Every structure is written in C-alpha cells, then in structure tokens.
Amino acid sequence: MATKKKPGKALAANSQELKEFRKTNEAIGLRISEGRLSLLSRKIFNVMVYHAQRIRNKGENAPIDTEVAKNYYWIPMAELARDAAYDSRDTELFKEQVQELQNIRIYSEDAIQWTSERLVSSVKLVNPKGLKKQGGMLWFGFAFPPEVENMVMAPGSYTKLSVYYQALLRSGASLALYEICRRYATNPSRVTNRAEWEWWYGVLTGNPVGETIPEYKYFKRDVLKYAITEINTVTDINVELIEHKNGRKVASLQFRVAPANQESLALSAPPVVDAELVQRMMALGLSQEDACNLLATTEEPKLKATLDLVEARLRNKKAPELTSPAGYFKQALRQGYVSNTAVAQKTIEALPPKSKADASIEAIRERYFVERAKEAMGLYRELDAEAQAEWLDQFKASDGAKGLNLARGLSSTPVRTAFAMWFAQQQWQEPTDLDLLRFAAEAVIQGKAAG
C-alpha cells in the first residue's frame, strides 16, 4: 500500500522560514563517477547553494582582506551548521565532509553535451583571531567549478527546494528521492521519469557508477521503503512507488508524487547529526567516512542498539577476543544481531519523558492499529455508494460483526470502530516488526507520542 501521512505534519508559514532555493534540474539526480555522496555532504552542498543564491556576490562578508578571499562565498560556520542540522562543535568531522564534496566527480549528459566536473572546487575555514585560539568567529568560504557555478547561480529549468525540509530527513537516499520527486510535484502528470531500477539505486545511494549493486529485493527493503516512509512523514509531498515488471522481475521504477495536506504550525528545530554516535563507531575502528555513511543509511535506534551490543561484547572478558571490532559491528548490523525488542527499546527511549512510563511494544502496536483504522475509514468514504454497501455487507457476514447490534449501521460508534478495524485488515497485511518500529520512529520525528 502507499504510505500515507499521519496527522500533525507542520508546514512553515512562508518561504523565508522554509529557506527555499532553486536547484537546477540538471543537478538533481546527477550520476557520480568518483567519490561518494553521504547524507551530510548532500545537506552541506544544498546549504551552500542556498547561501550562494542569497549572497549573490563573491567576497561579500569576507573575514580576511585578500585577493583570494574575493573569489569565495562567505558565511558564518554556525549558520551553515544550523541550516545543515550539524553539530558545529565537531569541526574535524565537518572537514571530512567538505573534503568528501571536493572528491566527488559528477557527470551529466544530454542531447548535445557530456560534462564531468568536481562538485566543489575549493573551501576555506577562517577565524581572524586564529583557528587554534579561543574567541573570534569561524567563517566558511567556498567556491564552485565553472560548470557547477553556472548551474547554481543561473539555473534554467529548476526545482524549488527547502533547507528546512532537507534538514528533517535522516538518510541520503531520502534526500535524493525527495529532490527528484519534488521536481515532479507541480508536473501535470505528477509521475517521475521511468528508469531501470539500477539507475535509481545509483542516484539514491550516491554510490559511484560501476560499483556492485545488491538484488532489487534488498534495495527495496533497505533503501526505498525507508526513504518513502521518511518523505511521507516529514516533508511537503507524498510519494508512492510504481514498479514495472518484465515477466516476474521488476525492471524499472517510477514514483507518483502528490502535495501533502499539512497544518500550518510553528517550525520545530530539525535534528542534528549525532557526533557522539560517530565517535562511538570510530572507537570500534571504523573510519570517519564509514561511520558517517552508516549514520546516514541506518535507522538510529538500530544503530544505537547494535553499538550497545558490540560494546558489551568487548567488555566481556570471558568471551573470546574480537580481532576486528569494526568488522564485527558491520556484521552485526548487516545480519541483525540485535533483537527487534532491543531496537524498539531504543526507539521508546527517544520518546518524550512524559510518555516513557507507559510506552511499550504493545502500546506501539495498539496505536498503529488505531491510526491504520482511521486511514481505512478515509479510504471507505472515498468509495461510491454501491462499493460502500458491498463492503458493509461483507463486514456484517464476518466474525468481526458478531455480537454487535447492526440495526443503526455505521452511525453506531461500536459498529463503526469494529468496521474500521476490519476494513483495514482487508486492505493491508498484518504489520511486521519493522512496520511497528518505523511507526514508533515516526512518532519521534513528529515530536509526539500518542498515549
């Protein structure tokens, strides 16, 4: 089924709060020939685009008076950190991410030209009082290569994107898919381009062309489903997967896009990149790049539960020594060493304190069924009268209607409640443990937990 919105998503009051920028359509869905795009590097690049379009003039606000400084766009580091939802105290991790952007070589091709270019040509960190000294303001300077500069500052056909919404997304694939689908939200067809699923894999994961790719079923399970759920939970659009098959195998994909119905509420602060989790992974022997990639592509409760498991294993003096804690950690993530209960517990721990006392797996399940029943009634009301009557007759003959007084039909609250639960069961399969965990995570993202 298509993933639907839960009530309570917030829409910023105006474009100033959303911090909208124009991203040329040629820069959306770029294929990478070298390097790798992670979640944080994608966010940082988009924030750079936003501020370059806002500032317009190179050299403006330059913290140092040199000729070279006139060739850069300049913003306070704290401003970039806020817009990218990044922990600004960890400058070493930031340096790694901007170097990652410089290492990325992209290519694009149309009917008349083929282009290969670096994404960012040069970056600087400047504190006029000294990088190693206390006090002063840290500034970030950046410059684009000619082709990228032209796409950033003078986009022909473009898509309006929002710094605010991108900051809410927690995986690189979610952000990449959001950008592509946002482009088609105002298209009359509201359907994306159709392409082989392998193409979508490269574009969404940010992995370089030519890298070995998994089977489609794993791509769908580990990347697509999570990205769609996240987009449909926190952004201004709804996305639905369309699969095109060749025989029994999925050959190509499209996505159906629709604007979301949102309430106008105050904006909440977006989540920041958790530098503590990165440090915990690095302590096991992972590189900073690997740690950031895992943070970008793994649900945080699962990541925390697996870290707890591996760290406890290392503290256990009676167990055989681990020759490669980093390898063991990756294997534990890949093969799901932690139980669903442990992951769910990490999800529950992230809930607001007031709801911890009564939070439980069963409570999550109950809330899931209540929300699903509401969605089911919404679907039922969209049916014509004949179809509604057929479904109601089927319900009356089912076990779900036993013991109920059906004389008043759906105007009776007990009958309406039972029917909604039954109708939901006819539309959708029994939720898996992963469905329940994601539902719990959505409550965290929305900043609430239903009691």
One domain, residues 308 and 402: no
Instruction: Count other Cβ atoms within 10 Å, centred on residue 161.
Output: 23
Instruction: Report the C-alpha gap between 86 and 45 in whole angstroms.
Output: 13
Q: How many residues does the chain have?
A: 451
Contacts of 251 (CB under 8 A, 6+ apart): 196, 197, 244, 245
- Residues forming beta bridges with residue 107, ordered by sequence position: 31, 116
Does 173 lie in the same domain as 72?
A: yes
Beta carbons within 8 Å of 4's beta carbon, 6+ residues apart: 232, 238, 375
pLDDT, one tens digit per residue, over 154-204 is: 766 666 666 677 777 777 788 889 888 888 887 778 898 889 999 899 888
Model pLDDT for residues 101-149, shown as the tens digit of each residue: 777 776 666 566 666 677 788 889 888 887 776 667 889 999 988 878 8
Residues 209 and 98 in one domain: yes
Higher pLDDT, residue 15 or 146: 146
Question: Same domain, yes or no, for 223 and 367?
Answer: no
199 contacts: CB under 8 Å, gap ≥ 6: none
Q: Give pLDDT tens digits for 207-247.
A: 766 667 889 998 998 889 888 988 887 788 889 999 999 98
State whether 100 and 233 are in the same domain. yes
Q: Are residues 288 and 436 in the same domain?
A: no
- Domain range for 162 is 10-259
Would you say residue 354 lies in a domain? Answer: no
The label of the residue with tokens 């600004």 reads: 88
Q: Supply φ then ψ for residue 309, to 5 degrees.
A: -60, -50
Domain presence at residue 35: yes
Q: Judge if 109 and 141 occupy the same domain.
A: yes
Please give the Cα distance from 104 to 224 (Å, whole number).
23
- With respect to residue 154, please indicate whether it lies within any of the assigned structural domains: yes
Instruction: Assess if residue 163 is contained within a domain.
Output: yes
pLDDT at position 14 is 46
pLDDT at 7 over 70: no
The helices-and-strands tally (H runs, E runs) of the chain is 19, 13
404 and 323 share a domain? no
Counting Cα atoms < 13 Å in the Cβ hemisphere of 14 gives 1
pLDDT in tens, 280-293: 888 899 877 677 66
Task: Examine residue 322 and state whether it is found in any structural domain, yes or no.
Answer: yes
Digit-coded pLDDT (tens) for 243-277: 999 988 999 999 999 887 644 333 344 444 567 78
Q: Is residue 4 part of a domain?
A: no
Does residue 220 share a domain with residue 127?
yes
- Identify the CATH number of the domain in which residue 252 sits: 1.10.10.10
Distance CA 208, CA 218 (A): 18
Produce one character per residue of 193-231: b if its CB has 16 or more CB atoms within 10 Å, e if not: eeeebebbbbbbbbbbeeeeeeebeebbebbbbbbbbbb
The Cα 218–Cα 226 span in angstroms is 12
| Of residues 95, 115, 90, the one with CA closest to residue 41 | 95
Is residue 350 included in any domain, yes or no? no
Domain count along the chain: 3
Instruction: Please state the φ and ψ torsions of residue 336, each to the nearest 5 degrees.
Output: 65, 50
**One domain, residues 34 and 149:** yes
Residues 236 and 173 in one domain: yes
* 3-class DSSP state of 259: strand
As a whole number of angstroms, the distance between CA 435 and CA 444 comes to 14
> Domain boundary residue among 232, 259, 286?
259
The answer to whether residue 336 is domain-embedded is no
On whether both 29 and 171 belong to a single domain, the answer is yes
